[in-house]
Structure 1
Amino acid sequence: MDEPLPIDTGTSAIGQVPLAAEDPVAHVLIDHPVPHLARAFDYAVPEKFADTARPGVRVRVKFAGKLRDGFLLERVEKSEHIGPLAAIERITSPVVVLTPELLRLGAATARRYAGTLSDVLRLAIPPRHARAEKAVLKAEKTVQHNVKTEQHDENGSDTQASADNATATAEKATVENSTATRADTIVRLGEWVVSETQHDRDDNFPAAEHPRIALTCVPGPTPGLSWITAGLEAARATLAAGESVLWLVPDHRELAVLSAALDASADIPSYSVLSADQSPEQRWKAWLKGLLGHTRMTIGTRAAAFAPVEGLGLIICFDDSNSNYLDQHAPYPHAREVCLLRSTIEATGLLFVSTDRSAEIQRLVQVGWLRDATPTGPERREGAPRVFVPDEERDPFAWQRIPSRAWQLMRGALRPGTKDTNAVGPVLVQVPRAGYYPVFACARCQEVARCPHCSATLTTQSEVGPFACRACGFHSDAFSCGRCRSNQVRSIVRGRGRTVEELRKAMPGIEILESGGDDIPIAIDDSPRLVVATTGAEPYALGGYACAILLDSLWPGPWMRSTDEGISRRLRAAVLVRSRTAGGVVYLGDTDETIRNTVTTFDPVTTMSRALDDRLELGFPPYRRIVELTGAGSDIDAIVTAVPELTELIRDSDGDDQKAVAAYPIAAGDAVGEALSHLIASRSAKKLPQVRIRIDDPRSL
């Protein structure tokens, strides 16, 4: 006769620990780097944690004999696990940091990028800092105590005013801004932006409707900072409607200037800042302030896309195509996509404001998901500077490093005696890099110097050699042009160092400021001077630059979006120049017709719209998603075969590893993401070699 099955006697804990009377089982998400272990496990809730073990708190549990961090996801009555459960060892903090909204956003991001929820939450929630947390919670208790005390006041309006004042005082006491120590120029820059737009504010942003808008800026009355004026208008309307604002910028320079503008705005309440440049204490304090509703505006860089904001009504993202928004930690999410997911999950407004137009945003405009609010043709022309391009047919010296026309424009902007006083001011000279001769050409026929053996581009360190080929190892002390046999060379891409030398010789007595590398000024005043900056290191100028000389462009690389990136680099520099009505001029040294047409008309929307027509026909992103798989060839084959939606496009070998790029339909996005995530977890559990997965990396194609 068979023995009877054991009777379920209820949940018990290892060591006979007394358990909570209600819902004694907790689903705990383990923070583990191994994919198949980064999931929820059941733990017993001790009686002493019955009240503090709430969904969303951080906990410490024993896992595989070691104490590990985790998040309590849910408490239930029973577990499917047979036998006693390990008990929760400690509640790290009573604060519920994993809110339901953040949990949904983290899960959606993990599906979108074929990652684990643990990896996403590691990016979304900063490490806890006990001292910062105690300070914020103490201020929270002070505010609550003051509100309760004042509620007994007979005058209701005075009570509300006192409570508001108490809240404001507590907020000021807990604010620790990472950009508190600013140069005077940055402060003046913020005050200038606000003062220039204070008298003619529109305040027509329909905050109550939660609109989704894409806006491309021109210099206008605030060169380089039109994105702040547009964002301030939308933020004011949202705050007036009783909702909160989240504002993302690509790096610390934009963050410093935005902070200065917010400080100068009397109608913007206190705000918190989230940035990788902050100390752990500053960052955790700012994160908690948003979580507890101490502030109605949060500004920050990439990671702030996940920041908790109570009553979020609007997300503003500036310069969404900037590479700084792409996280280099698994699962490699892009802040723009996180904003799109969050807007859908939390039903918020969206404002993408930039100087260029990314392919992803333009596709959303074309399908009607975003509304385009870019200025019309006449508005763009009036707000943009005049753009000059070299005329090789009429100007025999147009090929020179700094053509004669560029010298004329620079001298006109730097000399106080010029007739048009609006044209006097700082001059920006944009160079592609800091070196001397990365690429060179024949001085007679302008043909790019190539290796006589393999036709790859030759490199040199000076005009007299030696000359070398990095592809095949060719080396020569002399140069001979393969087309005209000339022995003379000229630089195509000459860096910041050599450009500064030339400018010092040609313009003695003129102040020259270098910007690049580790020394990048955030802002400069309006004094006439030369600013020689590498691509992406252009400082903001108070009042805008009078002139910009954009020398030969640094080729972004052999990928599909190289022209997009070239346009972005040029427009980010050109938008720093005053409008044509204020005398602003730009000399554009590019020979690429697409870049010339876009910068001359200041119309990146039309350019991107035409490019998308070709990409739609070819089935390229953003009309399909792409996944980059890196690993051994057989392992990549196993992944591609297991997911039928994947269509392999290219494959390259790099030693023992291979890199394959596959595409799949946007409609299958979540299904493919989950399938890839499960495959990686399965391979991890079986101890098989891993394949690195990156979805929608802009440089995969």
Structure 2
Amino acid sequence: MIARVAVDIPLPHLDRLFDYSITESQTADVRPGVRVRVRFAGRLRDGYVVEVTDRTEITTKLAALSKVVSPTPVLSPAQVELIRAVADHYAGTFADVVRLAVPPRHAGTENADQVSWPLPVTDEMPQGGLIGYPDGDTFLTGLSNGQPLRSYWQVSPRFVADAAGVDDWSRGFTQATVATLRAGRGVIIVVPDHRDLVKVRDGLGAVIGLGAIAELHSDLGTAARYRNYLAIIRGQAKVVIGTRPAVYAPVSDLGLICLWDDGDDLHAEPHAPYPHARDVVALRAGSEQSALLLAGHGRTAEIQAWCERGWLHPIELTAAQMRHGCAAVRAAADSDLALQRDPQGSRTRLPRLVFETIRAGLAAGPVLIQVPRAGYLPVLACQQCRSPVRCPVCQGPVQLHRDGNRRRLDCAWCGRIITDWRCPVCGSRELRAPVIGSQRTAEELGRAFPGIVVRESSGDRVIDEIGQQPALVVATPGAEPPASHGYAAAVLLDASRLLERPDLRAAEEALRRWLNAVALVRPGTDGGTVCVVGPAQVSPIQALVRLDAARHAERELADRAEARYPPAVRFITVTGPSGALNELVELLGPDCGADLLGPVELNQPPAIGQEETLWRLSLRAPLASGAELTAKVKAALAVRSARKMAGALRVRVDPAQL
């Protein structure tokens, strides 16, 4: 018998299956999905058996499998198909993707006796959630009948929580899970981080039983994660909740994949080939004929494109219904009357409306202050000539930190402490801070509101939850702790800083972050208010005031289509030394069917051991020929790999940041 093995070698020209003979002693243990060790190019390598057959096209004598690591299959046929599809979509290799999909082996867990896995209870269907939305009932009914429906749920950013802290979107995911389980099929729920995971797990566990849920995330220990993975691939666990890697979970008879907040950058894999969870779930839903439910308070251009093509069906409220039950949102200096009351309102960081909002909110409970950046003074410039302060060694940005009464300047790239700074342009020693961080903001508000507790939540100091007592909570986006009874008010500072980021998704991302903050504030009928400080006339702030993420996504997609940016086109970036990029262009040839943009030199922190300056080449093609362009890039990478050409290249297909 012959074993066709995917060998763990992430070289593009070796991205295929290799045939090995199975010895008589191995026959009982070798089956598709098991881990093996094989000899390849004189070295022992790990691999996975993908197929067992009695035929081979190799005419010479085959090498035998060196070892069967374990007779326990850890790859399902559906997983193999998905991993191959993801690798091809992102110009990567099977070896790269399988590392993301299969957790490290834990021999003790694998050899232990199998424990029984409780069956989920599906007697109860919670109220609220999807049931309160047009077409929500229809979607749930379709899931109960096993239909492969695909929808985007535009979740209203209203504060809804029961005694257990379960909010609207997690309740909707619970409803969809129960409906799918009633059809006898499995469910995967993917969330950005552990805090969202706990929220969904607790809400879902209260309905179907915590013991019926298998978790997959990095916070689990190696043994616990592998134990859950084995329960999934053995068909014991039918419900999986996890972060990014959970998209590959080998759930048998998969009926539904749910993904929350696809715009969160945590869904973008930082390791090659850099797949995005949103695209992986789309590929999987298509190949396994499973239903798909994506949801969020905001809406990305990618989701909007799928809705306009009819591939996703939107589940959303009308504009009036969307605003009902949400906090009242107002922009500072949004009218001539507001400017008459506060002439400096459009130019100051903390206009009069901010203090009015905070005072009114503190009379009723905690107040959230969202700021874009953590730290004390994360960006500095010369007071005299306004030149940015740069590190004299690596030219990285310099920031100011405060530890008690001590202050220090250091480089954000190389960490070097800067002493005796003098502006190289004008010679001045005076500094100014064009950007204020969360630490400095908390300090300023503490002086403005003496006697009020001020708490900071950012970076690695994230607060889990806030009580109902009056307090000021200064937090960066994504680190906002929920309040047990909702925030009485929220202030969104430095909106222009988010909008001015040199990134294609700056406006989309800013609106997403703001809407997530609005969802933490009590309804306007209970006095909940949100104040945003920024240019009131720009589209993202207008969309925030109207709570209209869908219309903003329409305009965003139209603008990108006009400018020929993703998702209206296939966009591939290749980063590396200029010589290697020029060689890649030659391999692609003049008829590659893409617009070539660049190469351009990158201004980014140097990597360890990096000697050459990095450059970036961008390739752009119509969506209809996007797969063909990706295949050509992958073929060119394979040629470079086979010829052992110098210069490492990093390829990103439709990158999350551009």
TM-score by shorter chain over 0.5: yes
Judging changes above 3 Å, is the alpha-carbon distance between structure 1 residues 667 and 197 closer, same or farther for their aligned structure 2 residues?
A: closer
Which residue of 1 is the match for residue 565 of structure 2? Answer: 620
- Preserved contact between residue 5 and residue 48 of structure 2 (Cα < 8 Å): yes
Match for 1:680: what amino acid?
L
Cα distance in 2 between the residues matched to 1:199 and 1:34: 49
- Preserved contact between residue 401 and residue 492 of structure 1 (Cα < 8 Å): no
- Preserved contact between residue 248 and residue 316 of structure 1 (Cα < 8 Å): yes
What secondary structure sits across from 1:79 in the alignment?
coil
- Preserved contact between residue 112 and residue 673 of structure 1 (Cα < 8 Å): yes
Which residue of 2 is the match for residue 375 of structure 1? Answer: 317
Which residue of 2 is the match for residue 393 of structure 1? Answer: 339
Which residue of 2 is the match for residue 84 of structure 1? Answer: 61
Which residue of 2 is the match for residue 252 of structure 1? Answer: 194
How far residue 268 of structure 1 moved from its aligned partner, in angstroms, is 7.5
Cα distance in 2 between the residues matched to 1:536 and 1:86: 52
The structure 2 residue matched to 1:659, chosen from 604, 609, 616, is 616
Match for 1:663: what amino acid?
R
CA distances 1:658-699 after superposition (whole Å, capped 9, x unpaired): 211111222223333332222212211111124321111122
Which residue of 2 is the match for residue 575 of structure 1? Answer: 519
Cα distance in 2 between the residues matched to 1:451 and 1:236: 58
Which residue of 1 is the match for residue 596 of structure 2? Answer: 648
What secondary structure sits across from 1:168 in the alignment?
coil
Match for 2:306: what amino acid?
L
How far residue 393 of structure 1 moved from its aligned partner, in angstroms, is 2.1
The structure 2 residue matched to 1:558, chosen from 477, 502, 510, is 502
What secondary structure sits across from 2:256 in the alignment?
strand
Match for 2:47: what amino acid?
G
1:233 aligns with 2:175: yes
- Preserved contact between residue 25 and residue 77 of structure 1 (Cα < 8 Å): yes
- Preserved contact between residue 150 and residue 291 of structure 2 (Cα < 8 Å): yes
Which residue of 1 is the match for residue 369 of structure 2? Answer: 429
How far residue 320 of structure 1 moved from its aligned partner, in angstroms, is 0.4
Judging changes above 3 Å, is the alpha-carbon distance between structure 1 residues 576 and 203 closer, same or farther for their aligned structure 2 residues?
A: same
Which piece of structure 1 moves more, 575-584 or 74-83?
74-83
Which piece of structure 1 moves more, 275-284 or 349-358?
275-284
The structure 2 residue matched to 1:476, chosen from 409, 422, 428, is 428
Cα distance in 1 between the residues matched to 2:422 and 2:636: 39
Cα distance in 1 between the residues matched to 2:41 and 2:397: 57
Q: How does 1:18-29 map to 2 (within 5 A)?
A: 24-29=1-6
How far residue 509 of structure 1 moved from its aligned partner, in angstroms, is 2.6
What root-mean-square deviation, in Å, do the aligned CA atoms of Structure 1 and Structure 2 show? 3.3
What secondary structure sits across from 1:581 in the alignment?
helix
- Preserved contact between residue 126 and residue 175 of structure 2 (Cα < 8 Å): no
What secondary structure sits across from 1:294 in the alignment?
coil
Match for 1:585: what amino acid?
T
TM (norm. structure 1) is 0.80
Which residue of 2 is the match for residue 697 of structure 1? Answer: 655
1:138 aligns with 2:84: no
1:406 aligns with 2:406: no
How far residue 200 of structure 1 moved from its aligned partner, in angstroms, is 7.8
Which residue of 2 is the match for residue 71 of structure 1? Answer: 48
Q: How does 1:30-45 map to 2 (within 5 A)?
A: 30-45=7-22
How far residue 390 of structure 1 moved from its aligned partner, in angstroms, is 1.2
Which piece of structure 1 moves more, 295-304 or 576-585?
576-585
1:450 aligns with 2:383: no
The structure 1 residue matched to 2:634, chosen from 661, 666, 677, is 677
Which residue of 2 is the match for residue 632 of structure 1? Answer: 577
CA distances 1:627-646 after superposition (whole Å, capped 9, x unpaired): 11122334323433444122
Cα distance in 2 between the residues matched to 1:213 and 1:453: 48
What secondary structure sits across from 1:393 in the alignment?
helix
1:535 aligns with 2:493: no
Match for 2:372: what amino acid?
P
- Preserved contact between residue 203 and residue 236 of structure 1 (Cα < 8 Å): no
The structure 2 residue matched to 1:217, chosen from 155, 165, 186, is 155
How far residue 298 of structure 1 moved from its aligned partner, in angstroms, is 0.3
How far residue 458 of structure 1 moved from its aligned partner, in angstroms, is 11
Match for 1:694: what amino acid?
R
Which residue of 2 is the match for residue 97 of structure 1? Answer: 74
Match for 1:122: what amino acid?
R
Cα distance in 2 between the residues matched to 1:344 and 1:471: 57
- Preserved contact between residue 430 and residue 533 of structure 1 (Cα < 8 Å): yes
Match for 1:450: what amino acid?
R
How far residue 133 of structure 1 moved from its aligned partner, in angstroms, is 1.8
Match for 2:332: what amino acid?
P
Judging changes above 3 Å, is the alpha-carbon distance between structure 1 residues 498 and 667 closer, same or farther for their aligned structure 2 residues?
A: same
Which residue of 2 is the match for residue 599 of structure 1? Answer: 544
Judging changes above 3 Å, is the alpha-carbon distance between structure 1 residues 45 and 513 closer, same or farther for their aligned structure 2 residues?
A: same
How far residue 221 of structure 1 moved from its aligned partner, in angstroms, is 4.9
Which residue of 1 is the match for residue 304 of structure 2? Answer: 362
Cα distance in 1 between the residues matched to 2:187 and 2:18: 36
Cα distance in 2 between the residues matched to 1:687 and 1:640: 16
What secondary structure sits across from 2:508 in the alignment?
helix
What secondary structure sits across from 1:383 in the alignment?
coil
What secondary structure sits across from 1:299 in the alignment?
strand
What secondary structure sits across from 2:375 in the alignment?
coil
Which residue of 2 is the match for residue 168 of structure 1? Answer: 118
Cα distance in 1 between the residues matched to 2:352 and 2:85: 55
> Which ranges in structure 2 are unaligned for 5 or more consecutive residues?
402-407, 410-417, 603-611
How far residue 437 of structure 1 moved from its aligned partner, in angstroms, is 3.8
How far residue 288 of structure 1 moved from its aligned partner, in angstroms, is 1.3
Query: What number of residue pairs does the alignment pair up?
Result: 605
Which residue of 1 is the match for residue 90 of structure 2? Answer: 113
- Preserved contact between residue 123 and residue 303 of structure 1 (Cα < 8 Å): yes
Judging changes above 3 Å, is the alpha-carbon distance between structure 1 residues 696 and 473 closer, same or farther for their aligned structure 2 residues?
A: farther
What secondary structure sits across from 1:265 in the alignment?
helix
TM (norm. structure 2) is 0.85
CA distances 1:216-243 after superposition (whole Å, capped 9, x unpaired): 2223351693321221222221122221
Which residue of 2 is the match for residue 518 of structure 1? Answer: 460
What secondary structure sits across from 2:369 in the alignment?
strand
Cα distance in 2 between the residues matched to 1:469 and 1:217: 49
1:299 aligns with 2:241: yes
Judging changes above 3 Å, is the alpha-carbon distance between structure 1 residues 63 and 495 closer, same or farther for their aligned structure 2 residues?
A: same
- Preserved contact between residue 640 and residue 646 of structure 1 (Cα < 8 Å): no
CA distances 1:364-409 after superposition (whole Å, capped 9, x unpaired): 0001100011211111111321112111622124243332322222
What secondary structure sits across from 1:680 in the alignment?
helix
CA distances 1:316-375 after superposition (whole Å, capped 9, x unpaired): 000101111111111111111000000000011111101110111100000110001121
Cα distance in 2 between the residues matched to 1:245 and 1:470: 59
How far residue 457 of structure 1 moved from its aligned partner, in angstroms, is 14
Judging changes above 3 Å, is the alpha-carbon distance between structure 1 residues 210 and 452 closer, same or farther for their aligned structure 2 residues?
A: closer
Which piece of structure 1 moves more, 294-303 or 234-243?
234-243
Cα distance in 2 between the residues matched to 1:234 and 1:31: 37
Q: Identity of counterpart residues, as a percentage?
A: 36
- Preserved contact between residue 10 and residue 94 of structure 2 (Cα < 8 Å): no
Judging changes above 3 Å, is the alpha-carbon distance between structure 1 residues 604 and 442 closer, same or farther for their aligned structure 2 residues?
A: farther
CA distances 1:259-287 after superposition (whole Å, capped 9, x unpaired): 22223335777101100122111111111
What secondary structure sits across from 1:664 in the alignment?
strand
Match for 1:168: what amino acid?
P
Q: Which runs of 4+ in 1 moved over 6 A?
A: 193-202, 440-443, 456-460, 465-472
Judging changes above 3 Å, is the alpha-carbon distance between structure 1 residues 475 and 213 closer, same or farther for their aligned structure 2 residues?
A: farther
Which piece of structure 1 moves more, 531-540 or 650-659?
650-659
Which residue of 2 is the match for residue 609 of structure 1? Answer: 554
- Preserved contact between residue 35 and residue 680 of structure 1 (Cα < 8 Å): yes
- Preserved contact between residue 381 and residue 387 of structure 2 (Cα < 8 Å): no
